[in-house]
Structure 1
Amino acid sequence: MVDEPPLSGTHYDRAALHRTDDAWLADAWTRAQVVLVTPDSKTPVVDGRLAVRTAGDAPDGPRRFLGLVGEVPYFAVTAAEPDSDGWQTPREFGARADDLDASLMISAVALEQWHQRHGHCPRCGAPAEQTQAGWTRTCTRDGSVHFPRTDPAVIMLITSEDDGQDLALLGRGQQWGPGRFSTLAGFVEPGESLEAAVAREVFEEVGVGVRDVRYLASQPWPFPASLMLGFVARLDGDPSIVLDPVEMAEAGWFTRDDVRRAADWTDELVEPQPGDDSVRLRGIPPHFSISRYLIDRWLAHDV
């Protein structure tokens, strides 16, 4: 069985009960380990590990309590810009990060992105100040308290069978280069269930119906504030594809051999021979993505 998706576990204690305890937070800061994060989501990486610092070595900047690793407090601090080489985004570092580093990094980036975008009260427009150790913002005029938002998005692998051969439906967005395909995805709309969102997004993007929608796993994706909810589903009816030309450049049904070959090329950073136009599927997402997790589960006959 394929392991859980990267970033999906919680590998430290968020210790939320301490977020309103100013005296405890002040003491915790004196012995803290600090994760630095820039407004454009970069963190320092040294020798393949998240490079945390002591409180005394951290720059001045907004401070957010992440939680506890054993008895050690961890905070995130906003750094205006990198102060050395080796700063990377989660997309660059995430595939190599261990579970703890990934959890801390993603939480720090997610909070930073939320604070960057929510400096004012959504009710009255007045400035909102960081409160509860960085986990809320409070309006300076009406006192209303606002919490970090997360936007649910469904991501799904649709499967079928043709003449005894298993097939997977993959698509290529307009922003992607030729040959790179992924699972379909889209945001959940207000008043909509997750299962309904899967069916709607698939039909809107490629014009096919689905059944047997089944949830597998989730992954936080702070770009800037998504929670990716992974599903598998089966084709229902006609497999003919009708593309949404705004969302999709192309889509197709691919065999396990097609997908496994593209997975190997992706992992080995190998490109097919130039000019070999017979190879339509040349790359899939790397292991860092929940899209790859869904694909790998299918390749392993685990869904």
Structure 2
Amino acid sequence: MSTMPEIQRFGDLPLARAGVDRAAHHRLDEPWLAAAWSHPTTRVLPISGGEAFVVDTPTGTELVLLPSFEVPEGGDRYFLGTDDDGVSYFALAGETLPGRLDGDARPAGLREVGGTLSDRDAGLLVHAVALEHWHRLHSFCSRCGHPTEKAGAGHLRRCTSCAAEHYPRTDPAVIMLITDEQDRCLLARNALWPEGRWSTLAGFVEPGESIEQAVAREVFEEAGVRVGEVSYRASQPWPFPASLMLGFVGRVAPGGAEITVDGEELAEARWFSREDLRAGWESGEIVPPSGISIARHLIEQWYGAPLPSSVRW
């Protein structure tokens, strides 16, 4: 009897998990926010440059969440939501993380710990990282050029001159596992990646384009392969810096399986059988995608078993 662990389902994608209600109806209620911030049960996540303090435990990794009276003055507050017990959560973004904490706390980012955090902590960190990056890049109004100021508990910036309101934006990107008539999957190596690193194709959705059109266009532009039917599978936020990854599977169009790469964006692309993949990672010649990437889970669903868990990038 096989002892192979169950393949992770798309509903469990590491960066698509959450355990907190975002409670958006409170974002413009300043008296409520002030009371929530000062409440003794409220917990605050200090964040800087996409990193927060974490501690390692026997069962995973936990965020270091502080009472509001223990965090330093200053910084930008972002309201992240409330849980079923009525606890409110905020992020506090600063130029640096607070001074060294007692114990084994260390700074870490989503790429390192996203897969080992609880649902609650993963959702909090993804939310906070995305907001922090957006605020760093939107200090000025795109309409008139004057400074903007934070509003809406961190989910809005308002121009100090023309009063235009600016909201966080997310860039849709498609990521797809394409198979051929022999049920081989198409994987590629980005020209900037280290030797041996392979993954599914991906690309941004262009203005005026459907996501299905984006799948076909990106695969053809990057690998010269023509795609027929495509099916949506799942999505997950990818705040590096502000994307939403939309996962698809697709089949090559009849006669469209020939691969052509330009050698600039992609170094190479290949059709892989399951036996090719297994032999590649057993020999160390192929490095599967990171455990926090939807690419890994698209490949696992096709392969029929988990990929090597010891491999990370």
Normalised by the length of structure 1, the TM-score is 0.90
The aligned length equals 284
Aligned counterpart in structure 1 of residue 229 of structure 2, from 212, 215, 222: 212
Aligned counterpart in structure 1 of residue 83 of structure 2, from 69, 85, 91: 69
Query: How far 1:284 moved relative to its partner?
Result: 1.1
Contact 1:184 1:202 in 2 (8 A): yes
- Divergent runs of 4+, >4 A: none
Which residue of structure 2 aligns with residue 175 of structure 1? Answer: 192
1:20 paired to 2:28: yes
Contact 1:241 1:251 in 2 (8 A): yes
Which residue of structure 2 aligns with residue 275 of structure 1? Answer: none
Amino acid at match of 1:139: C
Normalised by the length of structure 2, the TM-score is 0.87
Q: In structure 2, the residue corresponding to 1:74 is in which secondary structure?
A: strand
- 1:49-74 Cα offsets, whole Å, 9 max, x none, are 11111101112210010000120000
Query: How far 1:75 moved relative to its partner?
Result: 0.2
Query: How far 1:261 moved relative to its partner?
Result: 4.8
Query: How far 1:226 moved relative to its partner?
Result: 0.3
Q: In structure 1, the residue corresponding to 2:184 is in which secondary structure?
A: strand
Contact 2:180 2:251 in 1 (8 A): yes
Which residue of structure 1 aligns with residue 269 of structure 2? Answer: 251
Q: Which moved more, 1:250-259 or 1:67-76?
A: 250-259
Structure 2 distance, partners of 1:223, 1:196, is 24
Q: In structure 2, the residue corresponding to 1:7 is in which secondary structure?
A: helix
Structure 2 distance, partners of 1:286, 1:173, is 15
Amino acid at match of 1:187: F
Amino acid at match of 2:220: F
Contact 2:18 2:124 in 1 (8 A): no
Structure 2 distance, partners of 1:153, 1:141, is 34
Query: How far 1:289 moved relative to its partner?
Result: 0.5
Which residue of structure 2 aligns with residue 191 of structure 1? Answer: 208
1:57 paired to 2:70: yes
Structure 2 distance, partners of 1:248, 1:43, is 33
Query: How far 1:211 moved relative to its partner?
Result: 1.0
Structure 1 distance, partners of 2:290, 2:226, is 27
Contact 2:226 2:252 in 1 (8 A): yes
Instruction: Flag structure 1 segments of 5+ consecutive residues without an equivalent.
Output: 266-270, 273-278
Query: How far 1:98 moved relative to its partner?
Result: 1.6
Instruction: Flag structure 2 segments of 5+ consecutive residues without an equivalent.
Output: 1-6, 306-313
Aligned counterpart in structure 1 of residue 52 of structure 2, from 43, 46, 60: 43
Query: How far 1:96 moved relative to its partner?
Result: 1.1
Contact 1:35 1:75 in 2 (8 A): yes
Query: How far 1:9 moved relative to its partner?
Result: 3.1
Contact 2:199 2:295 in 1 (8 A): yes
Amino acid at match of 1:49: E
Structure 2 distance, partners of 1:153, 1:255, is 26
- 1:220-254 Cα offsets, whole Å, 9 max, x none, are 00111000000000011232211032210111001
Q: In structure 2, the residue corresponding to 1:44 is in which secondary structure?
A: strand
Structure 2 distance, partners of 1:106, 1:287, is 15
- 1:69-108 Cα offsets, whole Å, 9 max, x none, are 1200000001322333610110011121121111000000
Structure 2 distance, partners of 1:37, 1:43, is 5
Which residue of structure 1 aligns with residue 239 of structure 2? Answer: 222
Which residue of structure 1 aligns with residue 310 of structure 2? Answer: none
Q: In structure 2, the residue corresponding to 1:233 is in which secondary structure?
A: strand
- 1:150-186 Cα offsets, whole Å, 9 max, x none, are 0000000001133xxx200000001111111000000
Contact 1:119 1:128 in 2 (8 A): yes
Structure 1 distance, partners of 2:296, 2:239, is 17
Q: In structure 1, the residue corresponding to 2:115 is in which secondary structure?
A: helix
1:284 paired to 2:302: no
Query: How far 1:259 moved relative to its partner?
Result: 2.4
Q: In structure 1, the residue corresponding to 2:14 is in which secondary structure?
A: coil
Structure 2 distance, partners of 1:111, 1:121, is 17
Contact 2:43 2:66 in 1 (8 A): yes
Contact 2:177 2:249 in 1 (8 A): yes
Q: In structure 2, the residue corresponding to 1:180 is in which secondary structure?
A: coil
Structure 2 distance, partners of 1:208, 1:15, is 44
- 1:4-59 Cα offsets, whole Å, 9 max, x none, are 22221332100000001110000000122011110x20111112211111101112
Contact 2:236 2:245 in 1 (8 A): yes
Aligned counterpart in structure 2 of residue 3 of structure 1, from 2, 5, 9: 9
Which residue of structure 2 aligns with residue 295 of structure 1? Answer: 299
